[in-house]
A and B are shown apart, each in its own frame.
Chain A
Amino acid sequence: MLNLRFLINIVIIFILVLIQVFIFSNINFNGSICPYIYVIFILLYPPDRNRYLFLFLCFLLGFGVDVFENTGGINAFASVTIGFLSKHIIRMVSGTKFFEIEEFKFSDFNMGQWMFYTIVMVLIHHILIFFLETFSFVNFLDTLLKALYSAIFTIIFVFFYLILFRKKAER
């Protein structure tokens, strides 16, 4: 059962990488927007599953994008980071007390909590990517603005997905 689920996840990751690299990385709108929509996998991964496997899948997803974009390990770094932080962010956003993340279900989120959760996760991810990519604080404001614009685009995309498939995501 785990094997089948694992295989399905690998296929989803492969498709997400292709969509990211060939559609969303080529938007180039105004020369400053590059949305990384593949975070949707990390956002919607059910928290009651094995966390080790989850981190490994985050790494695979990020590294897949890196291989296509020749960026070394930047996307892998950001993905693994928000994958690890997601537990703490869910705890912070939901406000409920639970000992282990496995007890939590996304159906406990209301719309406001979904929005807050998405915004925080996507912002952390994009800011990490853009600053690692530039690797300097020389153009601090410009890099931050680029990250913000891209994050806004990604957040809008994730919201569309949630509005359309929210029930499925909360399964």
Chain B
Amino acid sequence: MQFILNPIIKNGLFLFFVFLLVISLVFTFRQKVYHESVMAKASNNISGYFDEKVSNATNFIHLKDDNQILQAENAELRKELELLKGEISESNSDSRTLSNLEFHQTYSFIPVQVINNSIVKAHNMITINKGTRHGIERGMGIISANGVIGYVYNTSENYSRVMSTLNTNTRINARIKGNEYFGTLRWNGKDARFAQLTEIPKYIKVEKGDTIETDGKSPAIPGGIMLGTVYSSNIDETSGELNIEVKLKENFGRLRYAQVVLNLEKQEILNIEHDSIPQNAQP
């Protein structure tokens, strides 16, 4: 018995070290399971509380910049409103009845404040100051005036964690404005100013400065939101697709306000997509 126990006692520290290493590795690789646990919910609430306190203290410094950004956005929106008004009055002059189908609301937006953000890591996360109490659910999209911020990943009562666009796991449906070819926008983890648009066939002509916008094929994010402009493009020799470097319009380093997208018809879309066709269906 002694010759079994002796090495264990002698190498106790090493065994304890390996034990702790294994625990931390388990936590690392079980992250997907972890975020549904009660502990994750609690930690989200606690860290959210501290984040908000710090954010409240530092917000004051940025008030002037924020005001200017809001002014610019207001002007942009007003311009759009006038354009739309003109269009509607024109269509009225043709004595065309406004159809209910064309002008009903599909999206609603919840304004949120970013209280914690990072751009350094490969899997960047953002914390926002609203949660399930305000109607935010997992999987919702989140946008700002300058593009898509990410998807809601984990919620607690008052706070939510958002998987940032600058996360190597995030995929965003995007298209080239003008020719409507769509691909996937992802981030390679290198530079916070650029993202990569892939899956565009190589016979498409892409030029520097072309606008990239959201596609609107996913129910989480409306179409036509500008994401950025083409910075460079080259043909990937192995896959035969274009590799397009997109300069993002949003500066993630100074992000503070955003909107969570509420799709009012999401349930309807999901229902019809998940409905299986019965075997003995009669026409």
Contact = CB atoms under 8 A, between A and B. Distances in A.
Interface string A18-51: 1001100110100111100000000000000001
A67 B43 contact: yes
B47 interface: yes
Interface stretch (A58-66, A115-123, A161-169): A58-66
A155 interface: no
8 closest cross-chain pairs (CB), A and B: A73-B27, A73-B24, A76-B24, A72-B28, A31-B192, A34-B120, A77-B24, A84-B17
B188 A139 contact: yes
Interface string B176-200: 0000000000001111110000000
Interface of A: 18, 21-22, 25-26, 28, 31-34, 51-52, 55-56, 58-59, 62-63, 66-74, 76-77, 80-81, 83-84, 132-135, 139, 142-143, 146, 150
A50 to B, nearest CB: 10
Interface in B162-217: 168, 188-193
Nearest to A18: B50
B138 to A, nearest CB: 14
B28 A139 contact: no
B191 A31 contact: yes
B120 A55 contact: no
A133 B122 contact: yes
A140 B161 CA distance: 28
B119 interface: yes
A55 B50 CA distance: 27
A143 B192 CA distance: 14
Interface of B: 12-14, 16-17, 20-21, 23-31, 34-35, 43, 47, 50-51, 54, 116-123, 125, 154, 161, 168, 188-193, 253
Contacts of A76: 20, 23-24, 27
Contact of A73 (B23, B35, B54, B193): B23
Contacts of B253: 28, 31
The SS class assigned to the A binding surface is helix
B100 to A, nearest CB: 44
A58 B19 CA distance: 13
A91 to B, nearest CB: 14
B172 to A, nearest CB: 20
A134 B189 contact: yes
Contacts of B13: 51-52, 55, 84
A31 B120 contact: yes
Contacts of A143: 122
14 contacts: A25-B118, A28-B120, A28-B253, A34-B120, A55-B13, A55-B16, A58-B20, A59-B20, A63-B27, A66-B27, A72-B29, A72-B34, A80-B17, A80-B24
A67 B47 contact: yes
Given A55-B13, A134-B122, A74 B47 contact: no
A132 B123 CA distance: 11
Contacts of B189: 134, 139, 142
B43 A80 contact: no
A70 B24 contact: no
Nearest to B12: A52
Contacts of A132: 28
